[in-house]
Amino acid sequence: MVFRVARAIRNAVYIIRSYRMLMKAGAFSALTAVLWRYTYLSWYSVLGSVFAAYLATGGWKFARVVVRTFGRDASGLLVLLRVRRKIKQCIMENTSIPRLFEETVHRHPHKLAFQLVEGRQWTFEEAYQYSNAVSNYFHELGYMKGDVVVVFMENRPEYACIWLGLANIGVTPALVNFNLRQDSLKHCIHVSKAKAVIFGAELSSAIDEVKEDFSDDIQLFSQGLQEGDVPSTSSLDQAIHKASTSPPPRDTLTKFTDPLIFIYTSGTTGLPKAAKITHSRYYYMAKSMHLLLKIRSDDNVYCTLPLYHSAGGILGVGQTILSGCTLTVRRKFSASHFWDDCVKYNCTVVQYIGEICRYLLAQPDKPQDKLHHIRLAFGNGLRPQIWMSFKGRFNIEQIGEFYGATEGNANLVNSDNTVGVVGFVTRILPFVFPVTLIKVDPETGNPIRDRTGMCIKCQPGEPGELVGKIVKGDPVRNFICKDATNKKICYDVFSKGDHCFLTGDMLVMDEYGYMSFKDRTGDTFRWRGENVSTLEVEGTISNIVALEDVVVYGVHVPGLEGCAGMAAVSTKNGPLDLRQFYTAVQKALPAYARPVFLRLLHTVDATGTFKLKKMTYRSDGFDPATVSDPLYYLDMKRGEYCPIDTHVYKDLCTGVIRL
């Protein structure tokens, strides 16, 4: 008995040492070795080891975390290992996403792959043949690996087939936002160094505006137009009709780590920026979502999101390419037709992003709200304030909220339907998935460091910036961006010499590792000695104004410390009752969070993925000389919002009127 106890203590010491080693190295191979070494321990050894580890890592609190999260973490770890194993296999076999699509086609040749709302339906075999025709046509024209072709069109099944066909011969498609015009559009085409532009018939006028600035080396191809309809443009439809539908020649070997597509993230200000998506990253994003949310191959996914964006083009289209799901697409989002489409086309999964859920809740009640067969809605940006209202009104069984940047390596998924969270990290084995929160200065956004120069990790309940450790050569942990700058990389985070991807987003974690989105680092502002989260204030005001568009931001007032809150509110559905609004915010928000300034405008500008353009309004400020919309300030003495004219503005800036 004494010998058994001694052996248990010895093994416990070995495990704790191994655990510390793994915490430093983060090596999967080392973890595997440790697990293999202790598979054959006696029950006495195991119990002794567990007890020692329990004492060494936090006692009852840690035990509670283990009991609550072990199943969740184990499930997530299995998905991560499964996806990693497949990626490693694909790298060794030098396969590609088009080749994986070919395998999917062989499994479901006659199954419906794509269908356009009020349009054509495509089987997997038809989509495959169309993509092969694209491959063969551009191969005959001399396009090869390393060339770039811009794809500029609204949602349609041909969209995915075209870029798959290009990628099949090593050409990199650049998926450009179909809302862009003039300078922004020219920028995307020029910076991509494209040899050709494929555009939809509906966007021919946008191309006409900029094509004079193209060099003679850029070829133009129209989809949906006949030859000669647009001068100096070839009809892709006619060319595809004549091209071979057999698999194209594979003259150049495509690696799984090669670029697959460029996605131009529009952001909320400035010119679009390109993110390079490799074959391995595309697989990781799409397949992880499929497995974590238990999407089935017989699911019909309804997608109204633009296919040029990662949410629609990777997480949506990827379910079809890699897993055999049917994808039902609509050219553009329509709140009034959303549930009608789901019922008509028998969809089982829907995607959302940004403000879509709020737009749907603002629609009048109708029977289709619950006549559909939707069991899962997945996306990002669902505000906690309307989470349960959305789920209850539309009878959605599961919400798969996720967090992730197109080019980033810090991705989270809410896989267990926990209300209000964007995902989780394991607190049992944090080195397995090195994504965490670090403390930052609320005003500057710069990381706060300890005496040794290392970043300080946040404890449960402390808001911080989400970061992901960069591991070069690792398709999951690497950070690749065509326009990468040091602004997105932080050094000496976990240990000397390491570096992490900075998401720019503030999140907060609870004791079980669940993460909730708080705000952008630049959006949180300080007023009256308190930190104000624009996201939280936007959610509250949105409910007050019957789910109208609302943007909240901080503006500088001369002579005052911090930033005063300002809200830009849409009045497209009717005028805002300022007195009623004042009463509502008095009840719903603490004094420091109530908007000091109001800007009333007909519509709030948004990107193609429904991100409200906050930076533009912030730079405008509250000067009536530069803002034509009605402006108001909060007069606390009178208890109401009063208009701002040039005289009032001057008094506000000089302190005559005190806020």
Smallest CA-to-CA distance from 508 within 423, 432, 580, 429 is with: 423
Class of domain 423-468+488-520: mainly beta
- What topology does CATH give the domain 97-332? Rossmann fold (3.40.50)
Cβ(53)–Cβ(34) below 8 Å: no
Q: CATH classification of 525-654, choosing from 3.40.50.150, 3.30.300.30, 3.30.70.1400, 3.20.20.70?
A: 3.30.300.30
Q: What's 84's DSSP letter?
A: H
Tell me how far apart the alpha carbons of residues 260 and 282 are, in angstroms, rounded to a whole number: 8
- Which parts of the chain sit beneath pLDDT 50? 1-3, 5, 8-9, 12-13, 22-23, 25-41, 55, 267-269, 482-484
Cβ(188)–Cβ(272) below 8 Å: yes
pLDDT at 658: 83
Q: Where are the domains of the chain?
A: 1-57, 97-332, 423-468+488-520, 525-654
pTM, 2 dp: 0.80
Tell me how far apart the alpha carbons of residues 84 and 89 are, in angstroms, rounded to a whole number: 9
pLDDT at 617: 82
Tell me how far apart the alpha carbons of residues 206 and 154 are, in angstroms, rounded to a whole number: 12
pLDDT at 612: 65
Contacts of 210 (CB under 8 A, 6+ apart): 182, 185, 186, 189
Tell me how far apart the alpha carbons of residues 168 and 99 are, in angstroms, rounded to a whole number: 8
> Which is it for the CA torsion 99, 95, 311, 292, positive or negative?
positive
Contacts of 11 (CB under 8 A, 6+ apart): 38, 41, 45, 48, 49
Q: Rounded to 5 degrees, what angle do the CA atoms 433, 434, 438 make?
A: 140
pLDDT at 83: 96
| pLDDT tens digits along 220-261 | 999 988 877 778 899 999 999 999 999 998 777 789 999 999
pLDDT at 67: 87
pLDDT at 493: 92
| pLDDT tens digits along 32-82 | 444 444 444 455 565 556 655 554 556 677 788 888 999 999 999 999 999
